[in-house]
Amino acid sequence: MLFETIVGPIHSRRLGSSLGVNLLPLQRKVCTYDCIYCECGWNSETEHNEIKLPTLDEVTTLLEERLKELVAKGVPVDSFTFAGNGEPTLHPQFPQVAQMVRAMRDKYYPNAVVTLLTNATQLSRPEIFDAVLKLDNPVLKLDAGTAAMRAAINKPTPACPDFDTLVENLVRFGNKCIVQTLLLRGENDGHAISNVSDEEFAEYVEILKKIRPKYVMLYAIDRATPEKKLEKLTVEELESYAQIIRNEGIEVKVYG
């Protein structure tokens, strides 16, 4: 399911009243991952559609119009959230857009936070790392404890950094970041997949111990997925894995 607007309030189970900012084409997914659980579908499903990115001026105009409307109606906004049809940091003007959104937040909803949902594959670019570091809530994806499991779940494109580089960049963020992880079991291309097996989850926890993030978001599948042979974990299961992480002195929030 692709997002059909550049700016529009969405209710988030993790972020409260969230004003979504989609910097990617409305009719195409653009991402460096091709995750088996992505609600936007497989990359190949929309690759024939034109890549038309909104400009900084377009996003600025649409955002300010929407904010004036929300303020007039007394609608609360808890978070300005970069999300949308793929990876937001692929937008060529992401640092400039991020700076603009922070300024709009300060003007219209100064108590709100600016959040980025990112797969963290662009953090090796200094301008992206610096721009993300300035945000209130950089939410960085880590779905696996090993390179093999990352390949199975996230299906990174050739443009992605290798797994060790990805982890190094997360460690550089440390307690300034939030780590988001979707836990699942299932099957893809005839192979069993589980990032909650004892060995795999132990490797994942070891990485979290190196990062020491602000906290970890553990969540389960919530919408239709392109790979149909995936299992949604229960809240009780999520809590059991959360407790393993908490035992290492790391805060965890669970979203079933």
Reading the chain (256 residues) residue by residue, the pLDDT tens digits are 556 788 976 666 667 789 999 999 888 899 999 999 998 888 887 777 777 899 999 999 999 999 999 999 999 999 999 988 899 999 999 999 999 999 999 999 999 999 999 999 999 999 999 999 999 999 999 999 999 999 999 999 998 999 999 999 999 999 999 999 999 999 999 999 999 999 999 999 999 999 999 999 999 998 889 999 999 999 999 999 999 999 999 999 999 7
- What are the residues facing 54 on neighbouring strands? none
* Cβ atoms < 10 Å from Cβ of 23: 26
Sketch the domain layout of the chain as residue ranges.
Answer: 7-255
Query: Which residues have CB under 8 Å from 68's CB, separation 6+?
Result: 108
Q: Could you tell me the two tokens for 189?
A: 């291309």
C-alpha angle 147-153-159 in degrees, rounded to nearest 5: 65
Rounded Cα–Cα distance for residues 63 and 81 (Å): 12
The dihedral region occupied by 156, where left means phi > 0, alpha psi between -120 and 50, and beta the remainder, is: beta
Model pTM score: 0.93
Q: What share of the chain is helix, strand, coil (3-state, %, to 5)?
A: 35, 20, 40
Helix (H) or strand (E) holding 84: none
Calpha distance 39→134 (Å, rounded): 28
Give domain 7-255's CATH architecture: Alpha-Beta Barrel (3.20)
- SS3 (DSSP) at 88: helix
